[in-house]
Amino acid sequence: MTISGRWTRVRIAVCGVVFASLFFAVGRRAFHLQVNDADRLRAMAEEQYLREIELPPRRGRILDRNGADLASTADVDSIYCNPRQLPDPRDAARKLSRILGVDRTDLERKLEQRRFFAWVKRKVTPEEVVAVKALGLPGMAFTREPRRFYPNRSLAATIMGHAGSDGGGLDGVELALDHQLRGTTSSVQGIRDALGRDIAVEGSVEAPSSAGSDVVLTIDRYLTFITERALADGAAAHSAKGAVAIMMDPRTGEILAMASVPTYNPNDPGGAEEAGARDRAITDVYEPGSTMKTFTIASALDAGVVKADDRFDCLMGRMMVGRYSIHDTHPHGVLTVAEVFKFSSNIGATKIARRLGRDAFADALNRFGFGHPTGIGLPGERAGVVRPVDKWGDIGLANISFGQGISVTPLQMIAGVSAIAGGGIYRQPRIIARAVGADGTIETLPVAPDRRVMSASAARTMLGIMRGVTEVGGTARQAAIDGYNVAGKTGTAQKVSNGHYDPSKWVSSFLGVVPAEDPRLAIIVILDEPQGGHLGGAVAAPIFKEIAEQALRYLHVAPTTEGVASGKGAPAAGKEALAAKAPPPATDADEAAANDAPATDLPLDDDALGEDPALAEKWDEVAGTEGGRAAGQPIERVVIPDFAGMSLGQAIHAAHKNGIELAFDDPEGRATGVALRQHPAPGPAPRGVVCRVAFGRQE
């Protein structure tokens, strides 16, 4: 064999070894990839081209206290397509947009991307499905998706909120209990193309999902309906910027109805936020005005510093606080505590708060729930604003006593008055009763324990005093209900604008309890910036009456008296509280305009005045005696003038000048003509004496 032949065999052998080695290496690598790393590589590959598509679950229902549907879920059709199968995407977009009411430009842009999958329109009507099928377009497909329905449209909309297209809650109960309502999310595998875009195979988007829990609310659908209807009519009649009404059972703390104006249709929530639709009962804070006198006097009664028949000199409607003055709409002299409330005297409320003291008053407001959320469990609840007590000063105390310089929510107010109606027990407001799972399990939300905020006897006395508001001469005659005794309070508060009280913007309200003897309902009605009249007794009280009358009939609450308008059937507490003769009863026009307006020239806080050490002395010098005297002090004497022949105005002026309290012996309650006789006779008498004067026509 030649040398060249041997080298040829060597080269062949070397090449064979090299190729054998390469074959072994490739085989080994292939074995490693196909066997040892198969699972890992398969997962990596699927991650590149497979995508898990979540489908919205079927949400649980929202029910009223009687099981009526407020929100439910039903399967509806959604339309999608494979744009690659469309011969003319622009023509298809034109036809589909006309039938489905979608934006043509947006749809055309989606179809021209030539992807394998694109939504045309989700959650369509059966009529739209029929129309699209009639077009006969290639690549069109249909699937079923759950859609949220609100069968009562706008009823209780601001309470429930609404759910989005992905099945998640966006507001109200839908958001607060989204975890319970949402259910179990299901998913299917989608396919991703080489550019990472989502595609799908026809029919692959269908998969079952489990329903969430049903949520039962404390509200009653019918009571909510009558509340919303009366509130909407009243707000429209007065061209109000907004309005809110709440109905609560003071025995349990359950919310029976809660309405806000404006509202919206949660089936079509577009534009709701821009229109101002929200749950104003918890999101809006306001200065309560004279309705705060309810808690001022209740706190003083509970502390034992006043009794219903204690008397305070209301200084004929004007009282100085440093260089500022407090006004009453109508002048009054000496009034009992019950009369201070009945005629809504700002001066009387200020003096009662001064006797109670700042610290005790602040503590009472805290017990009634002001300054912190009620914990009702709905999103967006605000705490209100109660300034620290060390920043009140004398002006701050006066302001808060008649509802200025403090901000509250409507829910806080109704919860507070329900505590009075419930015998002095504060019960946390509740609107969510329970959640019921698909397997029947019941979940109840935690509720704060009941707590006593005032004595039962003081609460009974306060309810008796509150009845005077709807009786002759009170500020809310239009809230009186035939057959039932109503306890309540009107409020008319100026709104703050640019740091000052605006005389053109008002919040009008009425806070009421019925029947007063055995409270079943506590109702608050508030109108924001009503036009053509703003007094709470004329604006909010009639709405309260309309709601309460229908609710009492619906709940089969038996009448408690023969006639409330005449004052018959008054309980002992109320009669004792109002035993003293009141100032002359107002005419129908005057009753609507009784002392229900705030003292508008007081500053918003004490910063303008500061804490003047001499202010208390100046106050007492101007205000005079607050009833009673300290032990050991001499009895002050006054001179009773001769009222014979004086007109009503002349008699009031003379009595005020001499420090005399007047009462009127006029069986018809008009005090017209001139003074004919009086008792006691003219002459010296102790300060605080009541002189009864009979008016009439001289023979």
More reliable by pLDDT, 502 or 41: 502
- Average pLDDT (37-61) is 64
Which pLDDT value is given to residue 283?
95
Least trusted range by pLDDT, from 151-165, 371-385, 452-466, 622-636: 622-636
Mean confidence (pLDDT) of the chain? 81
Say what the pLDDT of residue 206 is. 46
Min mean pLDDT across 80-89, 571-580, 595-604, 666-675 is at 571-580
Q: pLDDT digit string (tens) for 244-276?
A: 999 999 999 999 999 999 999 998 888 888 889
Listed in sequence order, the DSSP H helices in 221-292 are 221-237, 280-283
Q: Is 290 a known active-site residue?
A: yes
Q: Which alpha helices (H) appear in 514-610, and where do they start and end?
A: 536-539, 541-554, 572-577, 588-592
Range 9-37 average pLDDT: 77
Highest mean pLDDT among 315-319, 333-337, 666-670: 333-337
pLDDT category at 610 given cuts 50, 70, 90 is very low
Q: Which of 320, 394, 323 is nearest to 622 (CA)?
A: 320
Whether the predicted pLDDT of 145 surpasses 90: no
Residue 571 scores a pLDDT above 60:
no
- Average pLDDT on 332-355 reads 95
**Comparing 10 with 570, which gets the higher pLDDT?**
10
Band of residue 585 on the pLDDT scale cut at 50, 70, 90: very low
Task: Report DSSP letters for 402-449, one per residue.
Answer: TT-S-BB-HHHHHHHHHHHHTTSEE---B-EEEEE-TTS-EE----PP
Taking the complete model, does pTM exceed 0.75, yes or no?
no
Percentage of residues in the chain with pLDDT exceeding 90? Answer: 47
Tell me the C-alpha distance between 367 and 369, whole Å.
Answer: 5
How buried is residue 81: exposed, middle or buried, by Cβ count under 10 Å (0-12/13-18/19+)? buried
Whether 201 shows a pLDDT value over 60: the answer reads no
The residue among 359, 463, 475 whose CA lies nearest residue 419 is 463
pLDDT value at position 44?
Answer: 59
288: nearest Cα among 495, 26, 107, 502? 495
Q: Are 497 and 505 in contact (CB under 8 A)?
A: yes
**Catalytic residue of the set 290, 407, 418, 508:** 290
* The predicted structure's pLDDT at residue 189: 54
How would residue 600 be classed by pLDDT, with cut points 50, 70 and 90?
Answer: very low
